[in-house]
Amino acid sequence: MALRPTRSWTLKGLAVLALAPLALTACSAGSLGSSDAGNSAGGTTITWLTGTDEAAQATAKAVVAAFEDANPDITVKLDARPAGADGDNLVKTRLQTGTMPDVFDYNSGSLFQQIAPANNLAPLTGDASVGAVQEAFTPQVSVGKDVYGVPYGTAFGGGVMYNRAVFDKLGLQVPKTWADFMAASATIKAAGIAPVIQTYQDTWTSQLFVLGDFHNVAAADPQWAENYTANKAKYAGDPNAVKGFQHLQDVHDAGYENADFASIKLEDGMRQLADGTGAMYPILSANVSTLQSIAPDKLGDIGFFALPGDDAATNGLTAWYPNAVYVPKTTTGAKLDAAKKLLGFIASPAGCDALTSASAPTGPYLVDGCELPADVPQVTKDVQAYFDADAQSPALEFLSPVKGPNLEQITVEIGSGIRPAADGAALYDQDVEKQAQQLGLEGW
């Protein structure tokens, strides 16, 4: 479930922040592969493969302009790839055939592992280009002791956006345990406000109680993701992993959802959150951009907290990490030096400033020295606080390639009272089996 705004989204239904793809631009012959050739007018020209959508191109152009100003002897040309599965296939094909441009951005985490980094990418271990990359990110672009990429964009979290004005009016504190969450919901309902906003017309939004709970699963069992990938752990019957499904049922059974949960979409849910007719919305923090477009005057009223588990002492955030920028092994000589300079620029305060100029950050940059602007939304500040406190864990998709296609339909059924949580968890375990077998994973 790759939740990376304006990049290559692989989690079905979660590309809510990406703009509609434009027509794929033609690839120039010079972008297919690289060699020591490429110096022109005393400088070096490299090509960067990035997304074809308008936002991806605008972001890359902002970075390139700032980089070229600082490095006048290097020219960076942009090449484009389509979004989704077509883009994934193009990346894998170009790597396998040795025709990948000099630099490319792509997913981090488990999807990064699927492009055979040790075989296809230039290692950056010990290089200045990765010197400022924070330790929270390096495992997402590493194989063994070798690091292969730098973060491109900001991290974000899966948790709960909440109306701070409602909380203040009712004297509520941010819940650190599930019992506190349910108690707060009871108080909110008694005040005539919908405690928990759900938006099942956008079915992907129903998954957050499960996906956003993974920090709590990992806190209880640090080996769970590894065992899950090896078919040694399941959601059904596991007292920790099943709780995300159970929480979804708990909220429905208690009548804490908004009355129109089955018929409204993300934008409608954000409006309810902004106007205070709903108090809490389980959602990705990156969707603050939707809130910003719908109710910019309410940004200060809306905060964010991690989905709570059973133990306040281990309360923390389930985090989604940004994509990364990589260099293929086919990039050599002067082009390799230039490519590493570009990566080092991206993973620097100047690079973060260039990214910020293209789009407002929705979380931390995970690069030392990169500070968020003072005027970022409160949601972004709240997400940053979890990283500052080292109270975050990678979402399951960054640790395991196992993801079934039907989770969002199952969670809609549970959240609508159609299917009990235990049955839904068992059904999802069956769902992931097919994908694991298609991937050829051992133990399946």
Alpha helices in 242-360 (DSSP H): 243-253, 266-275, 288-294, 333-346, 349-358
Any idea what the CATH number is for the domain that residue 99 is in?
3.40.190.10
Q: Are residues 109 and 94 in the same domain?
A: yes
Specify the pLDDT at position 30: 32
Residue 128 binned pLDDT confidence (cut-offs 50, 70, 90)? very high
Task: For 126, list phi and psi in degrees, rounded to 5.
Answer: 80, -5
Q: Are residues 122 and 164 in the same domain?
A: no
Q: Are residues 160 and 149 in the same domain?
A: no
Is residue 376 domain-resident?
no
Is residue 388 domain-resident?
no
Specify the pLDDT at position 237: 87
Q: Are residues 311 and 163 in the same domain?
A: yes
Q: Are residues 166 and 299 in the same domain?
A: yes
Specify the pLDDT at position 29: 28
135 C-beta neighbours (distance < 10 Å), count: 9
Is residue 137 domain-resident?
yes
Q: Are residues 84 and 106 in the same domain?
A: yes
**What is the extent of the structural domain holding 202?**
156-319+394-439
Q: Are residues 232 and 352 in the same domain?
A: no
The amino acid that residue 266 corresponds to is: L
Mean pLDDT in the chain? 90
Helix, strand, or coil here: 374? coil
Tokens of 10: 């692989």
Q: Are residues 245 and 183 in the same domain?
A: yes
4 has pLDDT over 80: no
Is residue 330 domain-resident?
yes
368 has pLDDT over 90: yes
Q: Are residues 197 and 331 in the same domain?
A: no
Sign of CA dihedral 405, 273, 307, 363: positive
Q: Are residues 116 and 208 in the same domain?
A: no
Tokens of 410: 């199952």
Is residue 13 domain-resident?
no
Is residue 402 domain-resident?
yes
Is residue 208 domain-resident?
yes
Residue identified by tokens 């968020």 is 372
Q: Are residues 136 and 52 in the same domain?
A: yes
Distance of alpha carbon 234 from alpha carbon 213, whole angstroms:
15
- Whether this model's pTM surpasses 0.75: yes
Q: Which residues contact 135 (CB under 8 A, 6 or more apart)?
A: none
pLDDT digits (tens, 9 = 90+) for 303-345: 999 999 999 999 999 999 999 999 999 999 999 999 999 999 9
Q: Are residues 193 and 281 in the same domain?
A: yes
DSSP 21: P
Task: Identify the H or E element spanning 67.
Answer: helix 54-70
362 has pLDDT over 60: yes
N- to C-terminal Cα separation, the chain: 20
Is residue 177 domain-resident?
yes
Annotate 340-366 with DSSP letters as a single string.
Answer: HHHHHHHTSHHHHHHHHHHS--SS---
- Total of domains in the chain: 2
300 has pLDDT over 90: yes
Task: Identify the H or E element spanning 147.
Answer: strand 146-147
Asked whether 156 and 362 are in contact (CB, 8 A), the reply is yes
**Secondary-structure breakdown of the chain: helix, strand, coil percentages, each rounded to the nearest 5:** 45, 15, 40
